Structure 1
Amino acid sequence: MKRLELSPSNNTPHIILDVDANTFLIEGKSFPEDSKEFYRPVIEWMDEFKQTTPKSVKICFNLFYLSSSSIISVKQFLMKAVELNTGGAAIIIEWAYDEDDDDIKKTGEDYQKLTKLNFEYKVNE
């Protein structure tokens, strides 16, 4: 299985899914024209990754803006992480946000309530 990396653009985040380190990063702004299509390879990669039965995975989010359709796509991604967790993998979510960005912080808290995954909150410096 290969690492997946999607380069950032003005309206899409930088995404790195590193199978060797079992560390994933989603960082930047997320308001693609077609969120479902943009995140499709990420969701498909996660489906394939869960077959490798990892022991642990760290997922780092550092998002500055999420459109409503991106919120749904990130939720789908996190539900794949729940499947990994159900399969025995320890999942740690690091949710970074700017100190004055209550919306992004609340989005992380909403995802935590929904998924019941272990979230660690980090204020960007």
Structure 2
Amino acid sequence: MQKLEISATDLTPDVLLDATTRTFKFEGRSVSDNPEEFFKPIQAWFNEYVKKPNPVTVLVTRFEYVNTATQRELLNILKLLEPVAGAKVVWQFLEDDEDMEECGQELEQLTSVAFEFQVY
């Protein structure tokens, strides 16, 4: 499976999805007015990945900020991962960033994917 790598911009996060190295990472800000377009290839990648997933899938997220529209897109991705055995999200946030911590907690409540919260 081809890896998907998208470089960060002022409005979108850095993305690295590589099944071979078992690297699944989102990092940065996601404040685009049209996150559906940005996340379309990411959702397509996960649609393929879930057909033959790795034994363990750990999605690491280190967001500075995400808007509400992005939260919906993240939930869609997490819903794709729900049937994957061993899927987990490592939700990283700054120690004093209650908004990002709460964002992760809200997503955790809306999906059956396991979450681990880490302060960085």
TM band (smaller chain): over 0.9
Identity of aligned residues (%): 27
Post-superposition, which runs of at least 4 consecutive aligned residues in structure 1 deviate over 3 A?
none
The answer as to 2:44 corresponding to 1:48 is: no
TM-score computed with the length of structure 2 as normaliser: 0.94
Q: Does 1:97 align with 2:93?
A: yes
Deviations 1:7-49 (CA, angstroms, capped at 9, x unpaired): 0001100000011122200000001231000000000000011
Question: Which amino acid letter does the alignment assign opposite residue 69 of structure 1?
Answer: A
Would you say 1:116 and 2:112 are equivalent positions?
yes
Give the TM-score, by structure 1 length: 0.91
Structure 1 unaligned residues grouped into runs of 5+ = none
User: In 1, Cα distance between the equivalents of 2:67 and 2:5?
Assistant: 21
Q: Is residue 10 from structure 1 mapped to residue 6 from structure 2 by the alignment?
A: no
SS at match of 1:93: strand
Aligned to 1:36: 36
Whole-angstrom distance in 2 between the partners of 1:111 and 1:82 = 12
Root mean square deviation of aligned Cα? 1.1
Separation in 2, partners of 1:55, 1:7:
27
**Structure richer in helix, relative to its length:** 1
TM-superposed CA distance for 1:109, in Å, is: 0.7
Verify: 1:106 aligned to 2:102, yes or no: yes
Whole-Å separation in 1 of the counterparts to 2:83 and 2:40: 17
The alpha carbon displacement at 1:63 in A equals 0.4
Where structure 2 has 5 or more consecutive residues not aligned to the other structure, the ranges are none
Give the whole-Å Cα distance in 2 for the aligned partners of 1:22 and 1:115. Answer: 22
